[in-house]
Amino acid sequence: MSKLVTIFGGSGFIGRYIARRMAKEGWRVRVAVRRPDEAGFVRPYGAVGQVEPIFCNIRDDASVRQVLGGADAVVNCVGILNAYGKNGFDAVQAEGAARIARLSAEAGITQMVQISAIGADADSDSDYARTKAAGEAGVLEYQPNAVILRPSVVFGSEDEFFNRFASMSRMGPVLPVVGADTKFQPVYVDNVAEAAVMGVLGKAEPGVYELGGPDVKSFRELMAEMLQVIRRRRLVVNIPFAIAGLMGSSFDVLQSLSFGLFENKMITKDQVANLKNDNVVSDGAKGLADLGISPVSMGAVLPDYLWRFRPTGQYAEMTESARNLKG
């Protein structure tokens, strides 16, 4: 019988690419998610019955233990950008990761891949970065041979970065950003998935890998490239951290006072704190090159999925060609 991998958060942005690659490797894939009824799209990644979504709550030992039964390897892709309800940063990114590592070790599983993030820091002012570091520590406590991947901002057709700002650009002549001078090193989602699969297959040495693409650019420069792709002219305006912090705090308070009726998807105080730090691969860190992976550039991918934000959508190139003919 083929081997089985349990992927926590396997229907998410990064998880689905890992699931697809693991299915191509011939493994059975168990996609552990909170809402399996909304994850049916992962089934066609493999043969009938090869990829199956199953319910799991990573805050509960019994739930995690159940989805680990019979697995040969485990991948944890679960992460959040905004603490909401019971799914707080500590509960999900720190305690949840440690729980998965502890119970997988108890089940005799020795291959584990943890998706973390560049900037994970136990002393960070950001709860997101702090709990990412706590999650790594919890994983290594129970799975000392784990492969930990720290990607920079991840791009791809389902991303919540370029898609979000491209959508915002349709609302007016100004595109506001926080931390315009903060540097990022965007990495293609399938490069991250390839690295994770190498970890599952034992083709990557245990340890921490920081994953970044070939381009290091400021937030402002990334927005300029995105705007060029979608053929829109917008003024990129930087919101000072002090003002952004007040905005984030206000939205956070509104979320708290609404008892779950309002979820802060605008900007949180914690996100502002995180945006104060560059998000690039550290000097001397192991990365894609150490895994033999050639990083895909943004220019090779962004046009493939951002075209829908162009003023004339899929007909943009046809329209531009017609204008050239008239000239």
Residue 316 pLDDT > 70: no
The confidence score (pLDDT) of residue 323 equals 54
Residue-wise over 159-183: b if at least 16 C-beta within 10 A, else e?
Answer: bebbbebbebbeeeeebbbbbbebb
Mean pLDDT of the chain: 95
Q: Nearest CA to 56 among 23, 94, 103?
A: 103
Residue 261 pLDDT > 90: no
The DSSP letter of residue 124 is -
Residue-wise over 22-47: b if at least 16 C-beta within 10 A, else e?
Answer: bbeeebbbbbbbeebeebeebbebbe
Query: Which whole number is the average pLDDT over 295-324?
Result: 81
Coil, strand or helix at 152: coil
In the chain, what are the domain boundaries? Answer: 4-155+186-212+279-295
Q: Round to whole Å and give the CA distance between 45 and 18.
A: 10
Coil, strand or helix at 176: strand
**Chain length of the chain:** 327
Tell the CATH topology of 4-155+186-212+279-295: Rossmann fold (3.40.50)
Q: Nearest CA to 106 among 138, 68, 151?
A: 68
Residue carrying the six token digits 């697809």: 20
The confidence score (pLDDT) of residue 259 equals 79
DSSP 75-112: EE----SS-BTTB-HIIIIIIHHHHHHHHHHHTT--EE
Q: Nearest CA to 194 among 97, 297, 117, 296?
A: 296
User: 233-247: per-residue pLDDT in tens?
Assistant: 999 999 999 999 999
Q: Which pTM was predicted?
A: 0.94
Residue 159 pLDDT > 90: yes
User: 264-284: per-residue pLDDT in tens?
Assistant: 989 999 999 999 999 999 999
* pLDDT tier at 50, thresholds 50, 70, 90: very high
For residue 86, which phi and psi values (nearest 5 degrees)?
-75, -15
The confidence score (pLDDT) of residue 98 equals 98
Q: What is the CA radius of gyration of the chain?
A: 20
SS (H, E, C) 207-274: EEEEECCCCCEEHHHHHHHHHHHCCCCCEEEEECHHHHHHHHHHHHHHHHHCCCCCCCCCCCHHHHHH
User: 55-91: per-residue pLDDT in tens?
Assistant: 999 999 999 999 999 999 999 999 999 988 889 999 9
* pLDDT tier at 312, thresholds 50, 70, 90: confident
* pLDDT tier at 320, thresholds 50, 70, 90: low
The confidence score (pLDDT) of residue 255 equals 92
The confidence score (pLDDT) of residue 198 equals 98
The confidence score (pLDDT) of residue 1 equals 73
The confidence score (pLDDT) of residue 191 equals 98
CB 131 within 8 A of CB 97: no
- What pairs with residue 73 in β-bridges? 5, 111
Which residues have C-beta within 8 Å of that of residue 123, sequence separation ≥ 6? 130
Q: Round to whole Å and give the CA distance between 51 and 281.
A: 33
CB 100 within 8 A of CB 64: yes
The confidence score (pLDDT) of residue 321 equals 52
* pLDDT tier at 226, thresholds 50, 70, 90: very high
